[in-house]
Chains A and B, each alone.
Chain A
Amino acid sequence: MKFGVVVFPGSNCDHDAFHAIGHVLQKPVEFIWHQSEDLHHCDAIILPGGFSYGDYLRTGAIARFSPVMKSVEKFANDGGLVLGICNGFQILLEAGLLPGAMMRNAGLRFICKHVHIRVEETNAPFTCAAEKGEILTIPIAHSDGNYTCDEATLKDLEKHHQVLFRYTTPGGKDDAAGNPNGSTANIAGICNRARNVAGLMPHPERAVEEVLDSNDGLLIFRSMIEAVVNNTAKATA
């Protein structure tokens, strides 16, 4: 199985995702330049973190018009696996591949630190290797991570089990103290109705080795690998 990591002008965490998949998990991975409409037969596409287009206008607002996104959208509509990390999540929201919007952190400042997120659903190709209720320690680094949606959307997300990760306290409690950016319902990551597109603000690619203080992020990539290998994911690009 092969991963593709899209590189937009201003992407920074592309190298980190590449390292995590290619060197730590030892799986085939390649970079896909944003101008390319060819997704090189990848089984899963990662939209990495960073500051695509300098966050001009709104974060992710310009990247979603890059030529590569046409192919990513088609791939997603055909059931292909797409994971948006941080800026990648923001791009998926702007592209309409995930519902909701991203606002400035409630504290109005950039924040970088390890947080705790709880796996809410395991019937998704991004969490199938984890246990429901498992607490993962994964770092965030963002100033616009305040996920927001209206009442109707939130109801829908909950009804269809689309909330994959929620911020908690270290002990696993649903407390504002555990939420670093004020996001609605402590949401850290969601998937679409078809469950093949997901976005999360924390950076799993930064939590793949013990020397980096946590390797809980491996679960997310392992889930994706499991899903593709077991053919529970539906398409190749």
Chain B
Amino acid sequence: MATAPTEVKVTPEIAAEHGVTQEEYGRIQKILGRDPNITELGIFSVMWSEHCSYKSSKVHLKRLPTRGKLVVQGPGENAGVVDIGDGLVAAFKIESHNHPSYVEPFQGATTGVGGILRDIFTMGARPIAVMDSLRFGEITPSKTTNEEEAAKNRRILDGVVRGVGSYGNCFGVPTVGGEVAFEPCYAQNPLVNALALGIARKEEIFLAKAKGIGNPVIYVGAKTGRDGIHGASLLASAEFTEESQQKRPNVQVGDPFMEKLLLEACLEAMKTGAVVAIQDMGAAGLTCSTCEMASRGGTGIEIDLAKVPQRETGMTPYEIMLSESQERMLLVAEKGREQEVLAVFKKWGLDAMVVGDVTDGGLLVVKDHGKVAAQIPAHPLAEEGPIYNRPVAEPTPGKESERDWFPFSADGTDLTANFTKLLASPTIASKRWITEQYDSMVRTNTLAGPGASDAAVVRIKETKRALALATDGNGRWCQLNPKVGAMHAVAEAARNVATSGARPIAATNCLNFGSPEKPEVMWQFSQAIDGVGEACVALGTPITGGNVSFYNETLGKSIYPTPVIGILGLLEDATRVLKVGFRKAGDVILLLDGAGDSDGRQKTGAKAAQEFSSSEYSKTIAGIVAGEPPAIDLVAEKRLIDCMVALAEAGTIQSAHDISDGGLAVTLAESCFGASGLGAETKLNGAANAEYALFGESGARVVVSVSPEKLAAVWTTARQYGVGALEIGKVTGDNALRIEYKGHGVVSAQVPTLKDIWAYSLERHLKIQ
């Protein structure tokens, strides 16, 4: 969008160009009692954009469970805050930066990390961990992707990974885990969801409420430039068309060094006691921070743009208010104590300027060299944006029959070759090539980094405790059944946390969907909300905050509905972390099943084929994506979670790894990979076909290894929680993985061979030019 001089008269065409509908324009006129000028139109257009106002999602989001006895701050502030004991709280949230990452992968991803970090330290919490959940199109040519498209997906992946690493590494926060998945639908709509976690003393948490008439409003951090203008309203609130390249100037540019200085300076300034409120400038920069702080505080704010540090000349009020230049914060200080605050920022070499003050009357007044450039009631602007109850319509279900589903092989078929192919597929293969580009160890708190455990685990040095984090989502399952798929996302993240030994206590969600203007997409959204809500209640993990990203579609084709859930867990005793790798030859391998009796899970016939058609194996080996995700049993998931926490506490198991993508066989293989020189000999039995038994993805199951003398104790614990514990084999010292099913050897391979394929697959795919 070209820069607009203040004198430009607002016309219906200009309003439409800003994404403001006729009805919305009418509301603006009503709020102001007149027509808006161009600056005011720009301000409304960003605040009332989908990204900032949640206008299409609000009616559904309110169905999410947000309360809990450990929740100190739920949705509505910059991040969710949870009590973690010892007078400490954890602030955490996940956020998306999808559209910018397609347009400019490096900067899109890097500023995504920068943005979520600011959301944490603006609360007064020092960030201690970052995770990223990424989704890309296919990186090798296939039936659905040609070489040119695959090469583009590889470039996007490379840019995003370098962007994520570059920010976290320089800022000095460990990137401790995350997930990466590949589906054709993400090719032109990659998903980059970044999660950050921080710690603070409970009484040191800062909220963003502008209070105290006459208190100075202070701008700190980087100078304002023209980058990112309309990043929120145009990039994040619209789908891509052929002209997407022209959106490059809308992508923000990050400087992690600046943010590191900002972090240290803000935390130091907050300790002076002179800071009343603080908010970061993210989407819609100055506009959002001023009106939101005023609105929450029930006050008004007046600023003069002549005082705003600028790095370009000739910027108009429109540009300054809409700029999304990174690494800036807005704070309110106690009148008379501004020098204390300014001195801290000076020490760290950062710009800090008093740009205005808190006023009575609830108005956001923007002056430019003393002349009023915009005057808008803050509360209606921030909180009374349009709320849409968009039409919701379930799409007509396709008629599938057994012909469309996965064809199981005959009993006794050797599955080793297919298993190897599965281990090499990008979604299943090791993400080591990616995670080694992230500093996962800085701050020396990382007890379990990428791949070590099912969740990332970071200790809290002042205490005996540790925090665990996991992010999970399955777009393919949500496409097949949005409600069930969403429930699985919550269940899997919670199960991952529990499998590291920690008790899941809270959740954050990033809801990535297509256009809300399509009734089928809104149906998917509504269903997903219902699923997330039901699962969060059942598993005791209230949603404390998060983000909605709509319009993830290009040329009318939308992504799979992809809710991504981040779960925070608390490990009372940091020495009890559980890891995935087998430890000792001779240890017994148990399959723990929250449903109690594993036989009930052994589906056969058409039902089994229908469920199996939604699996990673079905997609990778047979190219079939159909059917239904596995049924979800939240009671079983809860039993298993409680059992895992108890087992960790008791210290009776050697290793733990849950069953998810790729099924039991992948879990067994990864448990061997996490060890050195060890293998496994397993014998399974059941009514189901071998592929279903080995690669089926039913939930509520974890594989543990136990030393023989602790076996009785483990069985007792499992029984106590109603969890089935089936002995399926032993850890061996011969470096081989053998799986026998119904008396036939179906997998037999050398662990080092499999590990090489699994560990280097991604790297090999990415080097193909």
Contacts and interface: CB of A to CB of B under 8 A. Distances in A.
Contacts of B255: 54
Interface stretch (A70-78, A119-127, A128-136, A204-212): A204-212
Contacts of B348: 9
Contact of B444 (A20, A110, A111): A20
Interface stretch (A11-19, A159-167, A220-228): A11-19
Interface in A172-231: 203, 205-206, 208-209, 211-212
Contacts of B355: none
Nearest to A52: B257
A30 interface: no
Interface of B: 162, 165-166, 169-172, 255-258, 260-261, 348-349, 436-444, 446-447, 459, 461, 574-575
Interface in A43-63: 49-51, 53-56
A13 B575 CA distance: 24
Listed residue (B162, B439, B443) with the most chain A CB atoms within 10 angstroms of its CB: B439
Contacts of B258: 54
Given A10-B170, A19-B444, A112 B438 contact: yes
Given A211-B447, A211-B574, A141 B260 contact: no
A100 B496 CA distance: 47
A53 B437 contact: no
B441 A141 contact: yes
Among all A-B residue pairs, the 10 with the closest Cβ atoms: A54-B257, A12-B172, A51-B170, A141-B439, A16-B444, A112-B439, A110-B437, A10-B257, A206-B441, A113-B436
A40 interface: no
A111 B172 contact: no
A208 B445 CA distance: 12
Contact of B261 (A9, A13, A205): A9
Interface of A: 9-10, 12-13, 15-16, 19-20, 23, 49-51, 53-56, 109-113, 139, 141, 143, 203, 205-206, 208-209, 211-212
A115 to B, nearest CB: 11
Nearest to A7: B264
Contacts of B459: 211
Contact of A12 (B162, B165, B442, B461): B442
- State the majority secondary structure of interface residues on A: mixed
A205 B348 CA distance: 25
A205 B444 contact: yes
Contacts of A211: 447, 459, 574-575
Contact of B165 (A50, A110, A205): A110
B169 A51 contact: yes
A109 B442 contact: no
Nearest to A14: B172
A7 B655 CA distance: 40
Contacts of A10: 170, 257, 260-261
B370 to A, nearest CB: 36
Contacts of A12: 171-172, 260, 442-443
A212 to B, nearest CB: 6
A206 B445 CA distance: 9
Contacts of A141: 169, 439, 441-442
9 contacts: A12-B260, A19-B444, A51-B256, A51-B257, A54-B257, A110-B169, A112-B438, A141-B441, A211-B447
Contacts of B261: 9-10
B453 to A, nearest CB: 12
B436 A111 contact: yes
Nearest to A208: B444
Nearest to A20: B444
A53 B256 CA distance: 10
A13 B172 CA distance: 8
Nearest to A111: B436
A13 B257 contact: no
